Amino acid sequence: MKVKSVVPGVCALGLLLAAGCTPTGGTARPAPVTEPRLFLELPDTCPTPDGMTMDREGNIILACPNYGDMSNPAVFMKIDKSNRASLYAVCPILEKTGRACPMGVDMAPDGDIYVADNQGWPGKPEGQNEGRILKLKVANGKVEACEVVAHGMSHPNAVKYHRGKIYVTQSLMPKIKSEQLVSGVYRFDETDRNVKVNNDESDKNLLVTFKTLNMDCQYGLDGMCFDSKGNMYVGNFGDGTLHKVVFDAEGNVASNELFAKSPYMRTTDGICMDAEENIYVADFSENAVCKVTPDGKVIVLARSPDCDGSDGGLDQPGEPIVRGKELIVSNFDMVTGPDKVNTKHDKPYTMSVIALD
């Protein structure tokens, strides 16, 4: 069963990069619960850190699409338990564009890594509808081969491996015409290879679609996670909302409901869940991280003014990940606009950490 919805062809990345989203007006913001600290400074070869996953030893694998300086190749960094960063792998490029753009990344139980290669994000014509879902074959802690699960995607963003399936959010689907932008979730079998995506409702792998109602920020689904019961949670970036999708016994969508919304949570970029099923949200536009409790209550966990991140401040947080009693956050630090707290892309390139105790 598919939940149908549609998106305007006029929607483009330029709306997000140039116009941004209109800020919420007049609502007093609550004080944050805690203050972030500096987790680490990344090397100059990692100007725009984004998605993260964790291996069985507790090492973080960080995707760096490096949109901030595309003279650098897109890479994955390994951050060990002593918080030391080193090069893990260079992301395999797409021959047509000459580069890779890894955003979402997730490690399967067997140690292989799935990647959302968002070729469309830089806004260059040759990258439009060229996004890929990659499977990186890992052996002895090293990437040994790359296989293409799907290709031709307009704007793949988050990727999650769950019970033998690969789930991907697609933030922009401009082939579907509507007054509001439409985005969606795709689902592939882990055995799928070279699936051609059409980016419209003809795609059999298109699981569910959403509209972004906020006309001042036409950017759709972004982060994604699953709870212990197999329910899927996705964030609609422009609306600043979280949605809960429940499946029936056959894996079809049984329900799709609004789970959390607050005037204090303006955008929902990357999300993750802890063992108690609290969801942590990177509020990209607000320089904040929110905690959403299992009953849908939104708490502003941390928030920073415009900064360069050198003191640990949130510098346009892109994605959080839980490790032990800490929440580690990548700082994307690139997009500006009238609503964005962030005003420029600058050094140092940082990650923040928030204590969860």
Average pLDDT score over residue span 182-208: 98
How far, in Å, are 31, 38, 217 from residue 262 at the CA level? 14, 27, 16
Please state, for a pLDDT cut of 70, what percent of the chain lies above it.
92
Starting from the edge strand earliest in sequence, which strands make up the sheet with 279-283, in order? 271-273, 279-283, 288-292, 298-303
pLDDT at residue 258, as a whole number: 98
Number of Cβ within 10 Å of residue 53's Cβ equals 24
User: Coil, strand or helix: which one is 18?
Assistant: helix
Domain chopping of the chain, boundaries: 13-355
- pLDDT tens, position by position, 246-282: 999 999 999 999 999 999 999 999 999 999 999 999 9
DSSP 298: E
What b-and-e string marks burial along 239-275, b requiring 16 or more CB atoms within 10 Å of the CB? bbbbbbbebeeeeebeebeebbbbebbbbbbbbbbee
Contact 162, 191 (CB under 8 A): no
Check residues 112 and 22 and name the one with the higher pLDDT.
Answer: 112
pLDDT for 8: 30
CA atoms of 260 and 258, how far apart (whole Å):
6
Backbone dihedral angles phi then psi of residue 85, each to the nearest 5 degrees: -100, 135
Distance between alpha carbon 233 and the CA centroid of its chain, in Å? 13
**pLDDT per residue as tens digits for the range 47-61:** 999 999 999 999 999
Topology classification of domain 13-355: Neuraminidase (2.120.10)
Residue 96: exposure state from Cβ atoms within 10 A (0-12, 13-18, ≥19): exposed
- pLDDT tens for 198-228 read 999 999 999 999 999 999 999 999 999 999 9
Which amino acid type is present at position 133?
Answer: I
Q: Which amino acid is at 284?
A: F
Residue 68 confidence (pLDDT) above 50: yes
pLDDT band (50, 70, 90) for residue 14 = very low
Cβ 346 vs Cβ 319: under 8 Å: no
Write the pLDDT tens digit of every residue in 275-292.
999 999 999 999 999 999
- Over pLDDT 90: what percentage of the chain? 90
Question: pLDDT grade, residue 27 (50/70/90)?
Answer: low
